């Protein structure tokens, strides 16, 4: 569960991963791997191997992987970007209730 909260914190504006260069390498590797697997399935089909996945499904899976990786990693690498609002200055790193929707009323 802590890894899940760590992922959410990386998506917070003002936060970023510890080693952005390594994450960029992972992004490139995941993109190449998804495209390589698509080509591998199609090459196997050409050589007569029956893989029980049609071409549309193969492209949808590879496209989903590429899209997810290429959306998540740039947000995680750049502290200026964020899906979630920035943590308030008085909130501690472990405080999950701090933020604009903390339930308090004005």
- Cβ neighbors of 98 (< 8 A, separation 6 or more) are 87, 88, 90, 91, 92
Tell me, yes or no, if the pTM score tops 0.75: no
pLDDT for 54 beyond 70: yes
- Summarize the confidence of residues 67-73 as an average pLDDT: 84
Of the pLDDT bands very low, low, confident and very high (cuts 50, 70, 90), residue 2 is confident
Domain boundaries along the sequence of the chain = 30-79
At residue 80, the pLDDT reads 75
Q: Is the pLDDT of residue 94 over 90?
A: no
């Amino acid at each position: 569960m802590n890894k899940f909260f760590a992922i959410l914190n990386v998506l917070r504006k003002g936060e970023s991963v510890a080693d952005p260069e390594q994450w960029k390498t992972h992004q490139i590797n995941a993109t190449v791997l998804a495209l390589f697997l698509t080509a591998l399935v199609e090459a196997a089909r050409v050589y007569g191997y029956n893989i029980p996945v049609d071409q549309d499904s193969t492209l949808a899976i590879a496209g989903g992987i590429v899209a997810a990786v290429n959306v998540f990693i740039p947000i995680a690498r750049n502290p200026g970007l964020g899906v979630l609002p920035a943590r308030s200055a008085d909130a501690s790193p472990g405080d999950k209730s701090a933020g604009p929707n903390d339930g308090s009323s004005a």
